[in-house]
Amino acid sequence: MTNEFGHMNSKGDWDEYIGKYVIIHPGMQSRSMAGKLISVHSGIATLNPFQGGNFDPDKGQIREIISQNAKLTVSPGTIIEPTTKKNLENYCEHMNKQEQQFLSQRDSQNFHPPIESP
């Protein structure tokens, strides 16, 4: 078993999260992923649907809930965080609004990102 934000210690720890919305933090080498956990087999977690992104030239980065499988490698040190579909949808909406505000501000101010020196 795990606490609310616990490290996964064995295969059995995953069972209580199957069919529920979660955020999986696989460790320092990989980015976190969120969605509905449908299975964990041989160190691979499958989420469907999952929170992902697409890019639109006019709208920029678009966050959305995608009804496809997303797979990520997990290990005994992986941290799992319970969430809800509504929380994921709200986060997508929030990030999409922020992206639109940034693009509007950039366009209205003829904003140019700073050029980094080598």
CATH number of the domain within which 21 lies: 2.30.30.100
DSSP-derived letter for residue 108 is H
pLDDT of residue 8: 57
Does residue 116 sit within a domain? no
Highest mean pLDDT among 33-37, 95-99, 112-116: 33-37
Residue 59 lies in a domain: yes
Cis peptide before 49 (omega within 30 of 0): yes
Domain membership of residue 115 (yes or no) is no
Q: Is residue 14 part of a domain?
A: yes
**Average of pLDDT values for 48-54?**
94
Is residue 21 domain-resident? yes
pLDDT for res 5: 47
Closest by CA position to 45, among listed 67, 25, 66, 65: 25
Residue 92 lies in a domain: yes
Provide the pLDDT confidence category of residue 31 given band limits of 50, 70 and 90: confident
d(CA 115, CA 24): 34
| pLDDT at site 112 | 61
Q: For the chain, how many structural domains are there in total?
A: 1
Residue 50 has pLDDT above 80, yes or no: yes
Looking at the predicted structure, is the pLDDT value of residue 39 above 90?
A: yes
Q: What is the pLDDT of residue 103?
A: 83
Position 113 in a domain: no
Task: State the Cα–Cα distance between residues 81 and 19, nearest whole angstrom.
Answer: 14
Structural domain contains residue 84: yes
Does the pTM surpass 0.85? The reply is: no
Q: Which domain holds residue 40?
A: 6-108
